[in-house]
Structure 1
Amino acid sequence: MSKNTISDNKLKQPIKEISSQDKMISGSAWMTGASILSRLLGALYIIPWMAWMGNPSIAASANALYIIGYTPYALFLNIATAGVPSAIAKQVSYYNSLNEYEVSRNIYKKGLQIMAVTGVVSALIMYFAAPFVAASSPSISVEDGTQVIRSLSWALLIIPCMSVTRGYIQGHHIMKYSAISQFIEQLARVIFMLAAVYLIRKTWNGSVVSAVSASTFAAVIGAVFSIGYLFYVIWRKKPELDKHAAESLNKVTISTNEIFKSIIRTAVPFIIIGSGITLFQMIDQFTFQQIMTRVSDFTPKEIVDSYGVASGNVNKLIMIVISFGGSMAITSVPLISELMAKNDLKKLTRQVSDSLQLFFFIMLPATIGMAVVAEPLYTVFYEQNAFGTELLQVASFMSLFLGLFVLMGSTMQAANQTRSALLALAIGLAVKLATQYPMLAWAGTNGMFISNIFGFGITVLLMLRKMYKVTHFDIGLILRRVLLMLILTLAMASVTFAVKELLYLVMDSENRTSALLVMAISAGSGGMVYLYASLKTRLADRLIGSRVASLRTKLRIK
């Protein structure tokens, strides 16, 4: 990307070009912060939501019904939008690096047109396919499932245009506004959802399906607020955008048809890869009930409830951790695309290596730490439940593979290794299908997560192998540092576990407030150990750079 890239200030002089590592860290920080806040909101709302739904049995059924609607919606959403932000960001960053800002602007305009069409088509397909999807899902009532699924189809009319605008902004390496829009979307959605459920269930004594339908329709409200903010940002930045467009070299000319073809050609693979996690979840949704009926003695109600706990409760919590990988992926795509445009293989190799190391530096303590504090964490958000705790522990380890898949999938596409990425995903899906039945028969509901580990494990292994062939990154260096991270993480986990067990000797494990204190103190203690150790060993310096020097000085660590 050129030195004249849009900055987040109004200085007229070109700013000094910052390194890819600094861009990666800064962008990841914004996107991770927004993702964590959004995921926390998406998990915290469940506490009053389920309480207002009714007794625990009614609330569990409502939660399962909600998930039945959201899983196919996520797939349709991915089909309509998943590849667009990354595809647009990749192309905008590519042409900006060539000082062809006018081409970038045209790509954005044509992208809006394409997304308007795909949004309408996806919404119609989802609306009319709702009865079939509901009939194939672990739901007590097909009619109720259909109503919930259809309530979500309206969001597909808005979100595609929102996603292409996010991609345009991300292509200029300004993650701040994209991150803020993501948080605004979630905040508006949660506020509407809780208000609707309270009015329907507590004030008007309405039905559960009406309350769940209103909750899912909240996605529309969130999308309206988010796209409104993004359009405001584009309007406010228009003078800067116009200035850059006027300074374009204009040596590259692309016809409208070429732009359309380019966007579609770039977006389709991103859509498929971006739908990877959802495709795995769809396998669960369409096979879980049928397999569990054969291999377990669960009643139909117990199967629906256990699916709700696994795909609903547990999934909301692990997505907080997976968001780290997603944030890094969003940030890395325009960076890698820029380096590809400049044909700078040396920096590309460094970028891939840095991304992997930073991923494990964050994800190893996050996933293992979540497994250690699974009991108080699950109690805080839901209630003490040995079944839910066990599922969360297994899913925590699974999230490491899911996060790495998100990062590597985007990295490979940005590096023009799309075909290999698609092949790796296809093989992973085949492994998931092949292991689903035996894993559910062997491990019960946990089998969903174990088969995911097998499937995503094979996928990321193939992706890493391919990227090594392309960049020849230093495997030895990465393995040595990951081993050090693992040692520090195990030390952190030991302290976290010890503090948690000591606190539970004097605190009520069933009380949510006590569980919150146990989780905060034990996780905080372990986190401090990991922070101190990473500073003491200089691991943080190698991954984050000079930013940590002042922190070490304040903590008096030599």
Structure 2
Amino acid sequence: MSEESKANQPKTTHVNSEAEAHQKMVRGSAWMTAGSLFSRVLGAIYIIPWVIWMGADYTQGNALYAKGYNIYSFFLLIAIGGIPSAISKQLSEYNAMNEYAVGQRLFKRGLLLTSAFGIVGAIILWFGAGAISTAFGGYDANLIPVLHALAIALVILPSMSLTRGFFQGYQQMAPSAISQFVEQVFRVIYMLGATYFIMRVAHGDWVDAVTQSTFAAFVGAAASFLLLGWYYFRKRPELNALAAQSENQLVIPVWQLFRDIIIQAIPFIVIDTATTVFNLLDQATFQPMMRLIFHLGTKQIDTLYAYFAFNANKLVMIIVSLASAIAVTVVPILSESLASHNMRNIRKQLEDSIILFLFIMIPGALGMAAVAQPLNTLFYSYDQIGTLILQISAFTAIALGFFTVISALMQGLSRNRDIIRYYLIGLLVKIIIQFPCIYFLSTAGPLVATAIGMMVASLMAMYDLEVNFGIRYVKLLPKINRILVYSILTYATARLVVYGLNFILNEHSKTQSFLIVALAVIAGGAVYVYLALRSRMADLMIGTKAAGLRRKLRIK
């Protein structure tokens, strides 16, 4: 081999490594995006019949559902303890060192931990329901049975989530994505069946309907866990073969495995609960602040709370789930690069992650803002306040999604203490500006305060990545500018379609609102896809498939 060939070899290896890592990220993101998107869409679509069957009590039902789920989400994340994300990260590191056997032992010990955490969390939530209700917004007798129903789901959800983390550690995203969708299908089937029977057949109480709707979380989790178990036993021969050819240089005692899991999990607990803590802060402060500032009654405040905490949140979480999908995918890939000390790969993966997020999130958020009025009518009812809150939520969702991704990047690179510090600073900002935001912006105040707090934390994390890993944001500006221009054109197209069709169709009708949403989404989406393909921007996201799409669509 010539000297010239030898000199070129490492560079080729670097390029191949980068290309492989990029493909892994895109492929993994595609699976997780599909799973998250389908499950979130299904989780939003059920609202249409649910609202109809709940009748006049649907707004109160939405508020009660949101209150219960905020508390449950916090307990769930504490019970899971960040263990799935931590184990996904550790597995990637051990697998990169060819220590598959250690990673599999880690998973089995993790199952014991999550089972224990789930049982303890369920007991606390069940027996402490009254005190917990009082702590978050004042005692509410209707909230007690809802928390009892959700406590049952806590028993199995941590172990189910851990199993998803196990597959993600092997960068096998399909089991996680499919199980998410299955979980949502069974949850929605039970929820709608129970609600229809209670409200339409038995003519029962709306609180019972909400209670059974929340118990559906257990039904969905059980179905998902069974599917993941089937995947695991199907892949056991492959897993055993990997364990058999391990280096076996690492000998780690059981107590140390437990300690490592908990130490790795603590940062994930703090960051994974970030959104839930912000929501709980809104739940605890919105009612007293609104009563103090505007002198409203409890029912009026609950209705306004439902606008942003349930109605808008259910819809914007569809697009935020796209950010979550990218976050879940990138953690094990970054951990693998960090374990091999490949700084060039790390920098490329960081830049790809940010661009991939913006490429999906910005047009998604602006598109939802453009169709907010017919979308709100379709899922709930024609309501100008509801439409305004949904529009604001769509824009603020960009900050929420960006924090999700940037915190995942920091955790994947073991910058755990730093991202926790930045998050706590962001939370402090939220606490400080919560009252002024509610005073000046009323119902939109909590959303704006959350967005500002999240952006403060995200900007600090971005600076950290620039200083420590050499990420070059200036290099990303041309791509970001293109995404912004294309997204604004997408927004304008969809908004014009909505505006024009409102003259022809009845904007108060759910059926005709569906037609308006569908046509506006098709028109706006077509503009964005065309611009992304023609400018070759889509090539960065889907690789060689973009060229095939251009040929089929005859785009030069």
Shorter-chain TM range is over 0.9
1:81 shift after superposition: 1.8
Contact in 1 for aligned 2:26/2:541 (Cα 8 Å) = no
Give the aligned partner of residue 326 of structure 1. 324
Q: Report the AA paired with residue 511 of structure 2.
A: T
Question: 1:137 offset after TM fit, Å?
Answer: 4.3
Matches of 1:239 and 1:51, distance apart in 2? 49
Deviates more, 1:207-216 or 1:96-105: 207-216
How far is the alpha carbon of 1:379 from its aligned partner? 1.1
What is the aligned partner in structure 2 of residue 97 from structure 1? 96
Alpha-carbon offset, residue 138 of structure 1: 4.9
| Range 121-130 or range 370-379, more displaced | 121-130
1:132 aligns with 2:131: yes
Residue in 1 aligned with 2:499?
A: 501
Give the CA deviation at 1:542.
3.1
Match of 2:78 in 1: 79
After TM superposition, list the pairs within 5 Å mapping 1:81-230 onto structure 2.
81=80, 83-138=82-137, 142-230=140-228
In the alignment, the residues of structure 1 paired with residue 132 and residue 117 of structure 2 have an alpha-carbon distance, to the nearest angstrom, of 20
Deviation at 1:36, TM superposition (A): 1.1
Question: Matched residues in 1 for 2:451 and 2:78: separation?
Answer: 24
Residue 11 of structure 1 corresponds to which residue in structure 2? none
Question: C-alpha separation between the residues in 2 aligned to 1:503 and 1:47?
Answer: 22
Give the deviation of 1:547 after TM superposition: 2.1
SS of the residue 1:142 aligns to: coil
Q: How many residue pairs get matched?
A: 540
Q: In the TM superposition, what whole-angstrom CA distance separates every residue of 1:490-528 from its partner, at most 9, and x where no partner exists?
A: 111111111221111111101111111111111211111
Q: Is the 8 A contact 2:430 2:449 kept in 1?
A: yes
Alpha-carbon shift at residue 299 of structure 1 (Å): 2.1
Root mean square deviation, CA, Å: 1.3
Residue 136 of structure 1 deviates from its aligned partner by 4.1
CA distance in 1, matches of 2:142, 2:532: 51
Gaps of 5+ in 1: 1-15
Shift of 1:82: 5.7
Partner residue in 2 for 1:462: 460
Q: Could you say which residue in structure 1 is the equivalent of 2:34?
A: 33
Aligned to 2:307: 309
Distance 2:92 2:162 in 1: 14
2:408 to 391, 410, 418: 410
1:394, CA displacement in angstroms?
A: 0.5
CA distance in 1, matches of 2:48, 2:544: 41
Q: Could you give the per-residue CA deviations for residues 140-168 of structure 1, whole angstroms, max 9, x where no partner exists? A: x7221112112101111000110111111
Give the aligned residue type for 1:72: I
Work out whether residues 82 and 271 of structure 1, in 8 Å CA contact, stay in contact via their aligned partners in 2.
Answer: yes
Q: Find the counterpart in structure 1 of residue 8 from structure 2.
A: none
Q: How far apart, in 2, do the equivalents of 1:62 and 1:371 lie?
A: 25
| Deviations, residues 116-138 of structure 1 (Å, cap 9, x unaligned) | 11111111121232112322445
* Structure 2, unpaired ranges of 5+: 1-15
1:301-450 aligned within 5 A: 301-450=299-448
CA shift at 1:298, angstroms?
A: 2.4
Give the stretch that moved more between structures: 105-114 or 39-48. Answer: 39-48
**Within 1, Cα distance between the matches of 2:121 and 2:475?**
45
**Is the contact made by 1:82 and 1:275 (CA closer than 8 Å) also made in structure 2?**
no
Q: Which residue of 2 aligns with 1:24?
A: 25
* Alignment equivalent of 2:480, drawn from 479, 482, 486: 482
Q: Secondary structure at the match of 1:402?
A: helix
Aligned twin of 1:276: 274
CA distance in 1, matches of 2:49, 2:472: 49
CA contact (8 A) 2:136 2:280 kept: no
Match of 1:251 among 242, 249, 252: 249
Paired residue for 1:7? none
Aligned counterparts, 1:469-548, within 5 A: 469-548=467-546
- After the TM superposition, which residues 37-76 of structure 1 pair with which residues of structure 2 at under 5 Å, given as runs? 37-55=38-56, 58-76=57-75
Identity of aligned residues (%): 39
